[in-house]
Amino acid sequence: MEAALAAAEARSESIEFEQWVGQKADALMRFAYVLTGDRSLAEDAVQDALTTACARWARVSKADDPEAYVKRMVVNAHISWWRRFRRREAPVEDPVRSAPSAPDGAAARAESEAVWALCASLPDKQRAAVVLRFYEELSYAEIGVLLHCAEATARSHVHRALAALKTTLSKGGAEDA
Amino acid sequence: MPEYDPEQELGPKFTSAFRGQAETTESQSGRLATVARLRVRRRRQAVMSSAAVVLVVVAIGGSWSVMSGLTGSGPENSSAGQADTGATGVSGPQRTMEAVPSQPSFGAAGCPAVHPILKAPATNAVPAGTGLDVGTPVTGLEACRYDLKAGALLGQQKFSPAIAQQVVDAIKVLPEMNSQLPVFKCAPQTAQPSEAIVLRFTTADGIREIWVEYTGCNSPGFFTGSHTYGLFAAPLKLFMTGPVRPTGSTYLDALKGW
């Protein structure tokens, strides 16, 4: 009897998990893509996070915000990649504006491309801080917790990225002129 | 005059770029959930298999111990037992220790068959509150070697308080990275570490751990959760003995004197 109840509970959890993934997969993939800048890395990060979430679904589903919980797992997976691939994917020294100068109307898109290209050149922890700040709109304290660093360090990551962006845009502006 | 805030000026540019790029991404939600469930099932099967192997080893060890006890102490076999002991110079209980290679030379180690390192996202992700503060005095050490891919305990060894303290002393003076180690470029599959050793130190506050990574293509080293120390031979040679000694690895092959 107890075994049957446990099996029924497991089946119900499995269905609930599948439904939840159906609702949240797109948001998780988008977040992971922005975080990693690479579709296959993003899919791996989401898959790893969902595997962990599936194994602990009873606990994850009771969290205040299961999506935020799983996103934290994605960030952790990304940070671990950062360690694994830091030598493989060395950031370039000077961020380069890759998008050519564009005529009016396409300017916003060109700027957006330049920002995305800049992000690809940022060290991964700096990039993660920027994504968490401007895509997830987290506070510096929350970013510090997620990246396992002090709030001041999180703030410093973001401000360095902003400084790099400013340099990139001003260089681009000078070239355009 | 208002203070210049680069976040207000440039932050929206990041937000806009991220949202624009994010919109181009789609997921295959059905596949993600299915793969997640399959992986969980495989992990659970691996854990069950490891537990079964451990049970069999313990059962064989127990039977061997009982048989040795009967042979050595039974009145009808006492003379034969003494002759055996005299011929080999090994008593019953000592033979039992030799029969199970994972048994330590300094008392019995209590390495858990299922350890958090087997589920950790990375071998440097020591859970908060469980890592060793290297300034803390230690009174014992058990080294547990795990196969991260199979999720199994490969070997264990217990060390004296003196060796335990020597290991900590040898680790705490190390720099964050060993620049002498080779730099590898490898595929994600080969980057995954295959083995790791968990050093479980006995302290006044209970067991505290340092995780040691020496395989894969990842950053190797000693991890306490709050600090990273580079992989050097000096501490390794103190505890990489017996069943806790690997035959080699990407990084160990480049180290001398371990």
**For residue range A34-55, what is the model confidence (pLDDT) as tens digits?**
888 888 788 888 888 888 888 8
Can you read off the two tokens belonging to residue A63?
């969290």
CB within 8 Å of chain A, chain B residues 56-115: none
- Which of chain B's residues have a Cβ under 8 Å away from the Cβ of A74? none
Can you read off the two tokens belonging to residue A59?
């606990």
Find the DSSP H helices in A37-150: 39-55, 57-60, 66-85, 107-121, 124-134, 140-146
Q: Is A150 helix (H, G, I), strand (E, B) or coil?
A: coil
A30/A46 Cα distance (integer angstroms): 10
Beta partners for residue B142, in sequence order: B158, B200
Walking along chain A (177 residues) 10 residues at a time, the average pLDDT comes out as 60 77 86 85 84 85 84 80 49 43 60 83 85 89 86 90 82 56
Alpha carbon of B13: minimum distance to chain A alpha carbons (Å): 7
- Which of chain A's residues have a Cβ under 8 Å away from the Cβ of B23? 30
List chain A domain ranges: 1-90, 91-177
List chain B domain ranges: 29-99, 116-254
Contact A30 B6 (CB under 8 A): no
Band (pLDDT 50/70/90 cuts) for residue B240 is very high
Exposed, middle or buried by CB within 10 Å (0-12, 13-18, 19+), for A40? Answer: exposed
CATH-assigned architecture of domain A1-90:
Orthogonal Bundle (1.10)
Q: What pairing do the DSSP bridges indicate for beta strands B206-213 and B195-203?
A: antiparallel
- ipTM score assigned to the predicted complex: 0.71
Alpha carbon of B250: minimum distance to chain A alpha carbons (Å): 14
The strand ranges marked E within B80-148 are: 140-147
Strand order in the sheet with B152-159: B152-159, B140-147, B195-203, B206-213, B221-223, B228-229
pTM (whole model) above 0.80: no
B75/B80 Cα distance (integer angstroms): 10
Q: Which pLDDT tens digit goes with each residue over B11-52?
A: 888 888 888 888 777 666 667 777 777 787 777 778 888 888
Q: Is B225 helix (H, G, I), strand (E, B) or coil?
A: coil
Of B6, B10, B217, which is closest to A84 when you measure between CB atoms? Answer: B217
B225/B125 Cα distance (integer angstroms): 6
- Which of chain A's residues have a Cβ under 8 Å away from the Cβ of B45? none
Can you read off the two tokens belonging to residue B190?
């080969």
Q: Topology of domain A91-177, per CATH?
A: Arc Repressor Mutant, subunit A (1.10.10)
Of B10, B11, B32, which is closest to A47 when you measure between CB atoms? Answer: B32
Alpha carbon of B39: minimum distance to chain A alpha carbons (Å): 6
